[in-house]
Structure 1
């Protein structure tokens, strides 16, 4: 497929060319996301560059007009994200051109992404199928309702590096694959809580700086009550501050807790997959599920 891809794309009276996203100035990438109203800081871009791959479209004088990235989670699974086209290039073929390029670079079809309404038709045309709605919840955090009381023998505490192997084992069936490298990177820049019953980790959560304030995610748990328990300290830590959490849960105790904590639904996107093997875990075998995503690019 790679050999068949056009190296340049003619748009109106100028020509766009591919460039590796790793070779582009961070300030240019930041300016691109600002141009479409995305909240990413330069530091958020840097995090994605550290763990992902991708391409940009450059015009004849080196301006970045569009971007697309992919993030490997092991050798045969990836999430796609950061598909951005500047206003002057929208609906002119640059997004599809870049998507075809990163699909060729990825080299397999076990792919998951989260699509805006505007991009959904493009992803349909490339063979992606819709699975679930993502509710982007954000706002100024208010004092949350008390979490469910801890059951006898359980403890909620800050996690440290000695918990990582247990955390990764809980996370893998929920996310759909072992994403060790990404969790290690996130752990180093996040505040993390875990709910233990003896030596068994029942739920965990992370919080880090992102965009306008802080984002809570991932949140991994087997039920709403445990998800609330591990999310509650993050809300409490940021009362009167901007907080965000992206979730597939529209209703139920966890969704109610999030919205009553000041994080109203701001927008929705759609989780889409190239093949069924890229879907999230369902929790049908008693495994944990994803209550809060890392981000829309990373899942």
Structure 2
């Protein structure tokens, strides 16, 4: 499965081969077909340790590490400057996601609009950070989380945890965010993860440094 984001980026979401058919090169052939369909797009994925050699053979390189935290959150105080989003906020969320992620994921945010609840931080009436929470697996998943700094990201997450006490919550984040220890103290313990990888496409002009960054993934499959 491959998901294109606009004309410059894509994610490789799933490469699945039945256990009885493994070792015959089918995974690589399917992956090559997906990459051909992606064309000149930059491609991202999250790999397990055992699948690294396959992805490296087709041009992917490790760029970081994603960690999964999950559990029943401990009691925390609700931050006073975080609120739920309003019906007219969607376009602002799309713009903010693009600024933080660096690519157009408007189709993904549109799908989340129907399936998730969004918490936001406003500054002078303008949305400056947001986080989403939705049903997933045995409970709930938080993500994406887009913010200008660690303090905003933590406030958004705390707000969502306060409003979903007693539930099972998962969040996937990059180790570079330094949220791991903080999430553990919130009762969300490390339960797995993977290696983030990138395969470069055609050379593209670099934009200016982003004022926002991504603190949590939509999912390991979607980035």
| Superposition TM-score, scaled by structure 1 size | 0.68
Match for residue 292 of structure 1? 216
Q: Secondary structure at the match of 1:295?
A: coil
Change (3 A) 1:264 1:222: same
Aligned pairs (5 A) from 1:166-205: 166-205=92-131
Q: Deviations over 1:85-106 (max 9, x none)?
A: 2222333322111101111222
Change (3 A) 1:251 1:174: closer
Q: Secondary structure at the match of 1:296?
A: coil
Q: Secondary structure at the match of 1:214?
A: strand
Q: Deviations over 1:62-119 (max 9, x none)?
A: xxxxxxx011111221111122222223333221111011112222241111111121
Quote how far apart the aligned CAs of 1:261 are.
1.7
1:157 and 2:76 matched: no
Structure with max Cα Rg: 1
Give the gaps of 5 or more residues in structure 2: none
Whether the 8 Å contact between 2:41 and 2:202 is mirrored in structure 1 is no
Aligned length: 221
What CA RMSD, in Å, does the superposition of the two structures yield over aligned residues? 2.3
Match for residue 7 of structure 2? 75
Change (3 A) 1:191 1:273: same
Quote how far apart the aligned CAs of 1:210 are.
1.0
Quote how far apart the aligned CAs of 1:277 are.
8.0
Change (3 A) 1:257 1:183: same
Aligned pairs (5 A) from 1:1-299: 69-144=1-76, 146=77, 155-249=81-175, 252=178, 254-275=179-200, 285=209, 287-299=211-223
Quote how far apart the aligned CAs of 1:250 are.
5.7
Q: Secondary structure at the match of 1:82?
A: coil
| Superposition TM-score, scaled by structure 2 size | 0.90
Give the gaps of 5 or more residues in structure 1: 1-68
Which structure's relative contact order is higher, taking Cα pairs within 8 Å and 6+ residues apart? 2
